[in-house]
Structure 1
Amino acid sequence: MRAMTELSHIRNFSIVAHIDHGKSTLADRLIQSTGTVQDREMKAQLLDSMDIERERGITIKAQTVRIDYKALNGETYVLNLIDTPGHVDFAYEVSRSMRAVEGSLLVVDSTQGVEAQTLANVYHALDADHEIVPVLNKIDLPASEPDRIKEQIEDVIGIDASEAMLVSAKTGQGIRETLEAIVHRLPAPKGDRDAPLKAMLVDSWYDLYLGVVVLVRIMDGKLRKNDRIRFMQNGTVHQVDRIGVFKPGMLPVEELGPGEIGFLTASIKQVRDTKVGDTITHEKKGTETPLPGFAPSVPVVFCGLFPVDSAEFEDLRNAIEKLALNDASFSYEMETSAALGFGFRCGFLGLLHLEVIRDRIDREYNIDLITTAPSVVYNVHMKDGEMIELHNPADMPDLTHVSHVEEPRIKATIMVPDDYLGDVLKLCQDRRGIQQELTYAGSRPLVVYDLPLNEVVFDFYDRLKSVTKGYASFDYQITGYRQDNLVKMSILVNDEPVDALSMMVHRDRAEMRGRAMVEKLKELIPRHMFKIPIQAAIGGKVIARETLSAMRKDVTAKCYGGDATRKRKLLDKQKAGKKKMRQFGKVDIPQEAFISALKMDS
């Protein structure tokens, strides 16, 4: 049994930064230089444990590690470090991790400077009342300009950067000074060891052998093995099987006290029972007042996932259920489609989140998927005063009963080099954006736009990267709903609506979108023995049409000479047959056609 750590000797902090500014590498150096992990077990991005994180070079899940550090004053400190993701889709992970700690290391690339996501993450840290220590990374690179970047941090973010740490996470330069700064500049946690247990549930995930593993931050009281604990939100009671800390492997301990971050397992079967932000207390003599917690994550992008081979539906159900165990921000419900069969309507925090889930299903469960067009949640106000949340455009009620439709809007912050500013402004105007401000952060323009979310979820990020040659950085937050002139566009093939291709569009752009879609489908659908009309319609009005001509047999080939009526008779007979065929004929749209049609070109 180890002695309890004094509160004054604990430091809890997170590392925040824009994508690729070196958070995970800095975490590696802090772990390595304190001897937490032996050199032979060390690998790059040690805390990124998922294959997909290592391949893409990004952090998806926030990870925790406990470091013991002997400071220059001879005292030993316990440092609890949380490495957070940088991508906007996982901002929920960041804001959640912030509530469990008291300080942040703000990592800024000394060659790139402040980016959009740097700003967003600093605001998360300030919202959580953090003490912030700026760290300028990559100072070993020839293009590093620490003095300019210090000024930029002060101008753009407004925090004092005169004592910013100068670090190279790659070579290890400045790591010792950073550890000293963590000890002396970040505050110690507060808490009462003798008060009733009050622990915050920071994260939870499913382990095949242990059941649900719960990451907790103890605020008051102490937690021991075999304690009976109660989750205050849903009132369930469990007995603690084991408690421990991450070093970064699981290390069992006898007890956790105030200010400490660790894990517990209690034979919990469902991750759904462990809501993030919940308060854990003892069953008897527990605390009366729960912690404020944090708002649950709200999915913003929805799309349908269907198996290419309908026989794999049960496998897909198992895969989705297992992924949902480990990812509280992923939601799903079953749906059926006339064209694609049985599948699931899934909710995601953004397009990268969607891609990650889709890749994991493909890779870990070997299921080929069709993804329908991503859509957002619309508020449909009916004439009788009722309001419906619309997740799937195919479920849009009859327009005669609809008063108006509201769509989600976002506040987008884009930082871009001067040369590409014009292209970015044009892109935002084309996407129905309203410019709110254009300021300069040092020498770089910072543009803030009010944009509709449904214009962003398709391919906005890709277009932004291509018009700025990859130099723009982009961050967004949802601001609310606003009424606009939105309509549901249906695609009809041989007079049958194809629900997987229906989408919500702005009325002014419906014709352009519809024409592009029917032209694309004309190329993708194979010809049949009868002609096939392909139409885009709003309600009962067709706004675009293409006709796929029929394959024909030459029925007059056997006629040598003779009266013209003989040939006419054969052609009329063929025409009547084609007409009958079209009436009863079924058009098969191949899966590849769906996938290609759903990839939106600008």
Structure 2
Amino acid sequence: MKNIRNFCIIAHIDHGKSTLADRLLEHTKTISDRDMQAQVLDDMDLEREKGITIKSHAIQMTYVVGKEKYTFNLIDTPGHVDFSYEVSRALAACEGALLLVDAAQGIQAQTISNLYLALDNDLEIIPVINKIDMDGAMIPEVKDQIMDLIGCKEEDILLASGKTGIGIEEILSAIVARIPAPKGDPEAPLQALLFDSVFNSFRGIIAYFRVYNGVIKKGDKIKFVNTDEEYEADEVGILKLGLEPKSEVSTGDVGYIITGIKNAKEVKVGDTITHVARPGEGIKGFEEVKPMVFAGIFPVVTDDFEELRECMEKLQLNDASLTFETETSQALGFGFRCGFLGMLHMEIIQERLEREFNQTVITTVPNVSFIAYDSKGNKSTVNNPSEMPDPTKLEKIEEPFIRAQIISLPEYIGNIMTLCLGKRGLLINQSYLTTTRVELIFEMPLAEIVFDFYDKLKSSTRGYASFDYHPIDYRESDIAKMDILLNSEKVDALSALIHRSRANDFGRKLVSKLKELLPRQQFMIAIQAAIGAKIVARETISAMRKDVTAKCYGGDISRKRKLLEKQKEGKKRMRQIGSVEVPQEAFLAVLKLDE
């Protein structure tokens, strides 16, 4: 056990985490030159293209110093704020972390939030400045930022370049010297933290775990503490580039277990594995993953509903944090109400449906979950505008608030303030991390950042702001349901739950956008935005009309009038029976309404 080191790499998006992992794997000869490729731990095409890590990965390396042979378990974590619970469980499985900071960009929001997660888990932090060979590297400034942030000495900071391999040997030596060996008792009852799972179509769910106490052997009867389900360990082993079966995995080590489970919901990240015969206690910190953003996903052709259901179930095997249930919409037919961890998660799911399963889908307006209280004091969760209780029986409604941390350059403070206060934010704190870095903390409603907050933040600060958030609580708010009516018929897929102060403005923008997008018909179309019975905005699309008076040359005006009256009657009848087709662009337009 004294020669095991469990560590992870924490960094903001795009600070070179996956590239540094590649160099460590190369240097320890874990991967042969033939198998080597860029971002080797990111095995999804989507991860490579976007340059982000979506799934956690774990891999074991062997490093030799003199006659001593060390086992390194690197647990690679996602960097994005949507996946922070997964990151916290992966950190709980480690004793140390490499804090990676880009020499050209310095410390950013997620560097700090992931650092706090690491400190909460009492990890030994090794600061590393990456990309030191770049032209814009500001090594002295970034060193000062790191020393201010974690209070280390200058000589503790390592300099490296993931691209060229500078400083890799120093990092490996520092891991041996500074990160403590895992503690634990191999004789105690089994306690293993489950920090990730992947789905294999032949073997079922493969769960990754880290053993705190005890030993897990092939053929053991095991159970998951939080779900209280019992299984048999068909295979256990360690994680090299592939799976390497072993007869047992002991205290302090990281490994995998295959039990033939087929349902991803039974394997929860953060759960504890223990023996049925000698059960150990559950490891603290387990949480159910809660979706934050909800949206409807519908097939473009209604007949593809069953096929879409199969695709969603397959996707859920790979991603247990996706939740969905069936729902029907008058405008779009049968589909699913899906819960996502955040906007990036939603984008990834849509993209994966399209790529991996060839499904083209319509996504409705994303919204967050509200809590509604009726006059009798009953409490209900509202994930969908159609679930909103009758306004006459509604006592109050609460919406989720988040604590947002934005780090930027001082010259953009004004732009950030304007943006956040316009989104109903409250400024809680403003502090200078260094002379060129300012941190702003806001409390804001989650509903306001769901749409296009991140894009606007980036454009108003020329890409220099980094953003991180975590949910805090629910607060009472004046939320109204806004319906869109086409010729007095509600289009439920365009309904939205919105703060009353913004409803008029939002309604006007939406109806004028729909006027551009809806095709003209033979009859007039009235587009209205309504809150309850009150119409807050209206646009009219005039009818296409044939010149019926063209055949009247001269003669009496009453003949022309008669023809026009006849046409008018026809249009009226047509309007009563004609239905308005809503094109897919109209549903997407709601997401891209420019302020």
Which TM-score band (shorter chain)? over 0.9
The equivalent residue for 1:92 is: 85
Output the amino acid matched with 1:25: T
1:567 aligns with 2:557: no
> In the superposition, relative to structure 1, how do residues 347 and 592 fare at CA in structure 2: closer, same or farther (>3 Å)?
same
Shift of 1:503: 0.8
1:29 to 17, 23, 30: 23
1:52 to 42, 46, 67: 46
> Residues 202 and 217 of structure 1 are in contact (CA less than 8 Å); yes or no, is this contact kept in structure 2?
yes
> Residues 192 and 220 of structure 1 are in contact (CA less than 8 Å); yes or no, is this contact kept in structure 2?
yes
The equivalent residue for 1:348 is: 340
1:202 aligns with 2:192: no
CA distance in 1, matches of 2:171, 2:591: 49
> Residues 365 and 587 of structure 2 are in contact (CA less than 8 Å); yes or no, is this contact kept in structure 1?
no
> Residues 501 and 598 of structure 1 are in contact (CA less than 8 Å); yes or no, is this contact kept in structure 2?
no
Shift of 1:284: 1.8
1:152-163 map, 5 Å: 152-160=145-153, 162-163=155-156
Report which stretch shifted further, 276-285 or 115-124. 276-285
> In the superposition, relative to structure 1, how do residues 399 and 282 fare at CA in structure 2: closer, same or farther (>3 Å)?
same
1:420 aligns with 2:412: yes
Output the amino acid matched with 1:352: L
The equivalent residue for 1:8 is: 2
Output the amino acid matched with 2:70: Y
1:411 to 397, 403, 414: 403
Q: RMSD across aligned C-alpha pairs, in angstroms?
A: 1.4
1:553 to 543, 546, 550: 546
Cα deviation code 1:407-461 (max 9, x no counterpart): 1111111111223222111111211111111111112111111111111010000
Shift of 1:162: 4.0
> Residues 409 and 464 of structure 2 are in contact (CA less than 8 Å); yes or no, is this contact kept in structure 1?
yes
> Residues 134 and 161 of structure 1 are in contact (CA less than 8 Å); yes or no, is this contact kept in structure 2?
no
> Residues 184 and 252 of structure 2 are in contact (CA less than 8 Å); yes or no, is this contact kept in structure 1?
yes
Output the amino acid matched with 1:58: I
> Residues 232 and 280 of structure 1 are in contact (CA less than 8 Å); yes or no, is this contact kept in structure 2?
yes
1:537 aligns with 2:538: no
CA distance in 1, matches of 2:294, 2:219: 42
Structure 1 SS opposite 2:305:
helix
The equivalent residue for 1:498 is: 491
Shift of 1:160: 4.8
2:349 to 345, 352, 357: 357
Q: Could you list the runs of 5+ residues in structure 2 that have no partner in the other structure?
A: none
1:44-123 map, 5 Å: 44-71=38-65, 73-123=66-116
CA distance in 2, matches of 1:558, 1:146: 83
Report which stretch shifted further, 153-162 or 24-33. 153-162
1:168 aligns with 2:138: no
Structure 2 SS opposite 1:68:
strand
Output the amino acid matched with 1:43: Q
> Residues 150 and 162 of structure 1 are in contact (CA less than 8 Å); yes or no, is this contact kept in structure 2?
no
Output the amino acid matched with 1:37: I
Q: Could you list the runs of 5+ residues in structure 1 that have no partner in the other structure?
A: 1-6
1:321 aligns with 2:313: yes
The equivalent residue for 1:3 is: none
The equivalent residue for 1:4 is: none
The equivalent residue for 2:297 is: 305
CA distance in 2, matches of 1:487, 1:103: 48
> Residues 490 and 502 of structure 1 are in contact (CA less than 8 Å); yes or no, is this contact kept in structure 2?
yes
> In the superposition, relative to structure 1, how do residues 405 and 159 fare at CA in structure 2: closer, same or farther (>3 Å)?
farther
Cα deviation code 1:18-54 (max 9, x no counterpart): 1111111111111110111112211111100111001
CA distance in 1, matches of 2:232, 2:582: 55
Shift of 1:327: 1.0
1:436 aligns with 2:466: no
Q: What percentage of aligned pairs have identical amino acids?
A: 52
> In the superposition, relative to structure 1, how do residues 257 and 584 fare at CA in structure 2: closer, same or farther (>3 Å)?
same
1:379 to 367, 371, 375: 371
Structure 1 SS opposite 2:312:
helix
Report which stretch shifted further, 475-484 or 531-540. 475-484
Structure 2 SS opposite 1:471:
coil
Shift of 1:159: 4.8
| TM-score in terms of structure 2 length | 0.97
Structure 2 SS opposite 1:463:
helix
Cα deviation code 1:169-224 (max 9, x no counterpart): 11111111111111111111111111222222111221011111011111111111
Structure 2 SS opposite 1:41:
coil
| TM-score in terms of structure 1 length | 0.96
Report which stretch shifted further, 559-568 or 154-163. 154-163
